[in-house]
């Protein structure tokens, strides 16, 4: 990070190649990273800004991931937590692609079913599978409903 203008606060430096996720719902940046499978032990070079002032959203989070272009299915997972997020694919400091996120109809292998009796929490060769509903996630195996606010607690 660099401090270009002390009166303007901290600004995250541009990245040469990678992905910038902008307009993340304030406070959800770390959950967005979790849903992308990016943890402290992975190798990506990351910049995370939370509660940044935003004209449109008042406050927002921003994540920059260097040298990794997110795939469409990864991008759509983000919609669960940050439906207004904007994805910018950066190549040689330029925005090569810009896209919104689209809520997937079915979510596989991203969230663990909280029901201990669910068959997906056994050694069976299946992934957790949820139907994405406005009220939350509905397990297609055991019918358990994860309310929207509880989704981050169950990300695998």
| Residues near another protein (CB under 8 A) | 115, 117-120, 122-126, 135, 138-145
CB of 77 to another protein, least distance (A): 22
Comparison of 26 and 141: residue with beta carbon closer to another protein = 141
How far is C-alpha 137 from the geometric centre of its chain's CA atoms?
16
29, 49 Cβ separation under 8 angstroms: yes
Strand partners, 54: 58
92/124 with CB nearer another protein: 124
> What's the number of CA atoms in the CB half-sphere (13 Å) around residue 133?
14
Residue 65: CB minimum distance to another protein, A = 34
**Please, which residue, 89 or 139, has the CB nearer to another protein?**
139
Compute the least distance from the CB of residue 109 to another protein, in Å.
15
| Alpha-carbon distance values, 151 to 4, 26, 41, 72, 145 (Å) | 37, 16, 22, 20, 10
Per the CB < 8 A criterion, the answer to whether 92 and 16 are in contact is: yes
Nearer to another protein, 15 or 145 (CB): 145
CB of 145 to another protein, least distance (A): 4
């Amino acid at each position: 990070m660099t401090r270009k203008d002390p009166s303007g606060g901290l600004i995250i430096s541009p990245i040469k190649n990678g992905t910038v996720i902008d307009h993340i719902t304030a406070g959800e940046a770390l959950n967005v990273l979790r849903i992308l499978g990016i943890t402290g032990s992975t190798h990506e070079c990351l910049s995370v800004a939370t509660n940044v002032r935003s004209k449109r959203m008042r406050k927002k989070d921003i994540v920059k991931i260097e040298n990794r272009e997110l795939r469409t299915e990864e991008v759509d997972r983000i919609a669960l937590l940050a439906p207004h997020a904007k994805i910018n694919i950066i190549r040689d400091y330029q925005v090569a692609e810009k896209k919104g996120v689209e809520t997937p109809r079915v979510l596989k292998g991203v969230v663990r079913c909280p029901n201990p009796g669910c068959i997906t929490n056994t050694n069976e060769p299946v992934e957790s599978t949820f139907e994405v509903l406005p009220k939350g996630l509905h397990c297609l195996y055991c019918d358990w409903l994860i309310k929207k606010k509880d989704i981050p607690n169950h990300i695998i």
